[in-house]
């Protein structure tokens, strides 16, 4: 059994330290008030058993809390006071240098919590360590100076989660839809270098990838681009090649026809599309931002976004090449093709590609093969999205955050060039457990927690308020998000619906189970879940009216926070069957990962909650290897088109570098009870010698996960 030290490092659990600490406190009180040796041993044994039953590594603070409780249970109040005083004095000593120790543990690659904190960051790489070091300083400043005590306290207790405190000290926003069209058509500036409108498709792709890296370094969330903004440059290249081919024919003294010129030029266009798409795929994966990771970027593929004719046909050529290259994958260090994490692909299901006789059905078949092999693309239903978004269809920002509909000064809907200010997530399970199951108490506590969330969200908003466009020129001055003047603030982009700010929520499933005794999929539990979701939306609407800021309800994609919330719930309320008995809580509105339900019922059920999560939502179905059953993938895709706005299929695509096994790497417990990854073929458990890809929060993760998320992945049931 392991324990997490205050530095974040993992160590072997040593029960003797509990005994020694209690005995030290015991000797400092009068003999008649002391505990007996048997009582002290009983405390040690009880705490050790609780730690074993938790099925995870507890922190030192959690263990000490348990020791306190057990001393009090023995009614040894004098001993308890001495023990608490000792803890307090030690805390004062540590307070002065806690940040230093955290940073040192990062540099020595000895911080277990950080190792598992982000499934797309490798904590041994210098650039990642530098980002984490800066993050520790930001957290310290945020904690001591920037956030109100009540917000910080609620964050620490897992009542809410104030996202991205490691970036909050800087004036940075969350995620965005990049206005690549503006940057490419009107020129941009990258690192103080003027970039004019490109004269070829491949140059446009190169500018796009350089811009993606710059944008990722200026914000902390995901970004999305659309291939539609690249499509016009295919014809720019086509016309260039036509001129070149004609010149070559003339120089060679050959007679030629216009059709012959077109055929040769088109072959060169297709080759350039291949090179341009390859550039995007490989540069996005290999670029390292100042955040110490590849850019979190999604690529939107929407045929109807381009007018019918040459431009749409060129867009189809690009989409086809993107899908073909993703099916192939990228090579790992051994030269074996594996599943890359980025870019995430978003494919729109629409009237002209959803049936066998539709014009672009061949692209949908290719998308199905790609999903079966590489877990992407994910699917947006044009039909359902138009129903929910006032007749519009547009991409999410990053993995799942959706903008509200906004009209520009000419009353046209505008999406590209907009952004999200940030997220604060409410732990719904904590609201339920705090109420003790009393419904009146639940709604009363919810109102107080929502008021706290609003206060925290206004902290996010006010941190951005007054930010000068100069802090990120590519965003605010050179087209990615705006064309503001030097020295101008971004304030006008924070109000009136131009940007959004998100109230996140987590654990609707466990919350409903605690309050009703039923799953939220049960007809007796669903009405409560829907009523709760409506209450959250009502709060966002009220705040919007009060502040002229677009508050929006967001189904939070918990990653490491799912473990944090679970630990806090266990500390506050103990282990409650079906509610707090896991080392994770369920993301947003999702059906619990262990619940048996088929793919079609799951998607249909969750669709009603996507409607109530306008600020962000994505549903998934867990499937086995589907490479030999593409027809089934296509049936799921058709169902998505008719029933739900945004969904994805989770497959398994792993590789063992020791024995060349390709398939599903298993999760098992080691001798200490820790969940580890193990090759089913050769037994390899060295994470550095395997490539594992799993979807955890909308994005594919490839750097492993904390124990809570790993348990959640292990317990997922198949829906197909």
What was the pLDDT predicted at 381?
Answer: 98
Identify whether 453 is a catalytic site residue.
no
pLDDT digits (tens, 9 = 90+) for 562-610: 889 999 999 999 999 999 999 999 999 999 999 999 999 999 999 999 9
Instruction: Pick the catalytic residue from 241, 498, 554, 563.
Output: 554
Identify whether 555 is a catalytic site residue.
no
Beta-ladder partners of 423: 502
What was the pLDDT predicted at 151?
Answer: 96
For the chain, list the domains and their CATH numbers. 1-96 (no CATH), 147-174+421-586 (no CATH), 176-388 (3.20.70.20)
Alpha-carbon distance of 504 to 272, in angstroms, equals: 43
pLDDT band at 289 (very low <50, low <70, confident <90, very high): low
Identify whether 656 is a catalytic site residue.
no
pLDDT digits (tens, 9 = 90+) for 246-256: 999 999 999 99
pLDDT band at 109 (very low <50, low <70, confident <90, very high): low
Q: What is the mean pLDDT of residues 59-79?
A: 88
Identify whether 409 is a catalytic site residue.
no
Instruction: Pick the catalytic residue from 118, 119, 353, 401.
Output: 401
Instruction: Pick the catalytic residue from 62, 112, 117, 559.
Output: 559
Instruction: Pick the catalytic residue from 7, 111, 174, 353.
Output: 174
- Residue 31, pLDDT > 80, answer yes
pLDDT band at 697 (very low <50, low <70, confident <90, very high): low
- Residue 454, pLDDT > 70, answer yes
- Residue 81, pLDDT > 50, answer yes
What was the pLDDT predicted at 346?
Answer: 98
What was the pLDDT predicted at 226?
Answer: 98
Q: Mean pLDDT score of the chain, rounded to an integer? A: 90
For the chain, give the percent of residues with pLDDT over 70: 91
What was the pLDDT predicted at 119?
Answer: 45
Identify whether 691 is a catalytic site residue.
no
Q: What is the mean pLDDT of residues 411-430?
A: 97
Q: What is the mean pLDDT of residues 203-212?
A: 95
Integer-rounded Cα Rg, in Å, for the chain is: 27
Alpha-carbon distance of 155 to 161, in angstroms, equals: 5
Q: What is the DSSP string of 170-187?
A: S-----EE--HHHHHHH-
Instruction: Pick the catalytic residue from 51, 397, 509, 690.
Output: 397
Q: Which residue has the higher pLDDT, 63 or 309?
A: 309
pLDDT band at 104 (very low <50, low <70, confident <90, very high): low
Identify whether 205 is a catalytic site residue.
no
Q: What is the mean pLDDT of residues 215-227?
A: 94
Taking residue 187's Cβ as centre, other Cβ atoms within 10 Å add up to 15
What was the pLDDT predicted at 293?
Answer: 61
Going 118 to 423 to 696 to 228, the CA torsion angle's sign is negative
pLDDT digits (tens, 9 = 90+) for 514-541: 999 999 999 999 999 999 999 999 999 9
For the chain, give the percent of residues with pLDDT over 90: 69
Instruction: Pick the catalytic residue from 224, 420, 583, 653.
Output: 420
Q: What is the mean pLDDT of residues 439-452?
A: 98
Q: What is the DSSP string of 417-450?
A: T-BEEEEEEEEHHHHHHHHTT-HHHHHHHHHHHH
Identify whether 439 is a catalytic site residue.
no
- Is residue 461 packed enough to be buried (19+ CB in 10 Å), middle (13-18) or exposed (0-12)? middle
Closest CA to 698 of 613, 587, 538: 587
- Residue 450, pLDDT > 50, answer yes
Instruction: Pick the catalytic residue from 54, 175, 205, 384.
Output: 175
- Residue 100, pLDDT > 90, answer no
Distance between terminal CA atoms of the chain? 36
Closest CA to 108 of 1, 13, 14, 7: 7
What was the pLDDT predicted at 553?
Answer: 98
- Residue 343, pLDDT > 60, answer yes
What was the pLDDT predicted at 93?
Answer: 57
List all residues 6 or more positions away from 576 whose beta carbon is below 8 Å from its beta carbon. 433, 514
What was the pLDDT predicted at 240?
Answer: 97
Least confident of 43-57, 107-121, 568-582, 594-608: 107-121
Instruction: Pick the catalytic residue from 221, 507, 698, 701.
Output: 698
Q: What is the mean pLDDT of residues 414-440?
A: 98
- Residue 177, pLDDT > 70, answer yes
């Amino acid at each position: 059994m392991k324990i997490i030290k205050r530095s974040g490092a993992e160590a072997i659990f040593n029960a003797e330290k509990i005994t020694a600490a209690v005995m030290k406190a015991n000797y400092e009180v009068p003999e008649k008030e002391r505990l007996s040796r048997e009582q002290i041993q009983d405390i040690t044994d009880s705490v050790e058993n609780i730690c074993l039953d938790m099925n995870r590594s507890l922190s030192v603070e959690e263990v000490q809390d348990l020791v306190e409780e057990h001393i009090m249970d023995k009614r040894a109040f004098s001993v308890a006071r001495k023990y608490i005083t000792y803890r307090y004095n030690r805390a004062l000593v540590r307070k002065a240098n806690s940040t230093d120790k955290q940073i040192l543990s990062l540099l020595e690659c000895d911080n277990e919590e950080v190792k598992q904190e982000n499934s797309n960051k490798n904590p041994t790489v210098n650039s990642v360590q530098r980002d984490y070091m800066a993050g520790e300083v930001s957290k310290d400043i945020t904690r001591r100076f920037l956030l109100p005590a009540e917000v910080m306290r609620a964050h620490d207790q897992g009542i809410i989660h104030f996202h991205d405190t490691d970036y909050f000290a800087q004036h940075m926003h969350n995620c965005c839809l990049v206005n690549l069209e503006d940057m490419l058509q009107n020129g941009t500036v990258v690192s103080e270098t003027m970039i004019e409108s490109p004269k070829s498709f491949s140059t446009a792709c190169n500018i796009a990838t350089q811009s993606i890296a710059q944008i990722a370094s200026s914000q902390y969330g995901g970004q999305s681009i659309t291939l539609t903004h690249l499509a016009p440059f295919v014809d720019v290249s086509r016309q260039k090649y036509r001129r070149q081919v004609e010149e070559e024919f003339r120089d060679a003294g050959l007679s030629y026809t216009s059709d012959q010129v077109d055929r040769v030029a088109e072959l060169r266009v297709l080759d350039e599309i291949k090179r341009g798409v390859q550039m995007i795929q490989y540069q996005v994966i290999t670029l390292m931002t100042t955040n110490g990771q590849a850019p979190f970027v999604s690529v939107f593929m929407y045929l109807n976004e381009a007018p019918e004719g040459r431009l749409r046909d060129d867009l189809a050529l690009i989409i086809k090449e993107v899908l073909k290259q993703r099916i192939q994958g990228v090579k790992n260090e051994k030269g074996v093709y594996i599943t890359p994490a980025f870019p995430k692909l978003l494919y729109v299901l629409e009237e002209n590609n959803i049936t066998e006789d539709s014009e672009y059905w061949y692209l949908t078949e290719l998308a199905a093969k790609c999903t079966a092999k590489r877990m992407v693309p994910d699917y947006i239903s044009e039909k359902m999205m138009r129903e929910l978004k006032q007749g519009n269809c547009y991409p999410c920002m990053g993995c799942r955050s959706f903008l509200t509909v906004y009209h520009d000064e000419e009353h046209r809907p505008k999406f590209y060039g907009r952004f999200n200010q940030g997220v604060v997530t409410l732990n719904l399970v904590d609201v339920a457990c705090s109420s003790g199951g009393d419904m009146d108490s639940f709604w009363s506590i919810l109102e107080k927690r929502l008021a706290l969330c609003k206060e925290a969200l206004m902290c996010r908003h006010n941190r951005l308020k007054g930010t000068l466009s100069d802090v990120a020129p590519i965003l605010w001055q050179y087209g990615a998000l705006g064309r503001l003047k030097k020295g101008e603030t971004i304030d006008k982009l924070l109000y009136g619906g131009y940007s959004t700010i998100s109230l996140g929520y987590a654990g609707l499933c466990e919350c409903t189970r605690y309050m009703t005794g039923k799953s939220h999929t049960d007809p007796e539990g669903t009405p409560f879940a829907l009523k709760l979701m409506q209450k959250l939306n009502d709060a966002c609407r009220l705040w919007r009216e009060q502040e002229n800021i677009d508050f929006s309800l967001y189904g939070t994609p918990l990653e490491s926070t799912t473990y944090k919330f679970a630990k806090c719930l266990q500390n506050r309320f103990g282990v409650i069957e079906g509610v707090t008995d896991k080392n994770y809580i369920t993301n947003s509105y999702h059906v619990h990962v262990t619940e048996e339900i088929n793919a079609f019922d799951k998607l249909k059920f969750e669709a009603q909650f996507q409607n109530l999560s306008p600020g962000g939502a994505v549903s998934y179905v867990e499937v086995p290897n589907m490479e030999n059953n593409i027809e089934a993938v296509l049936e799921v895709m058709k169902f998505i088109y008719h029933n739900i706005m945004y969904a994805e299929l989770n497959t398994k695509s792993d590789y063992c570098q020791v024995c060349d096994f390709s398939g599903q790497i298993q999760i098992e417990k080691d001798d200490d009870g820790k969940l580890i990854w193990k090759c089913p073929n050769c037994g390899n458990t060295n994470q550095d010698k395997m490539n594992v890809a799993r979807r955890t929060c909308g994005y594919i993760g490839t750097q492993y996960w904390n124990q809570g998320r790993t348990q959640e992945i292990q317990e997922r049931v198949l829906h197909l």
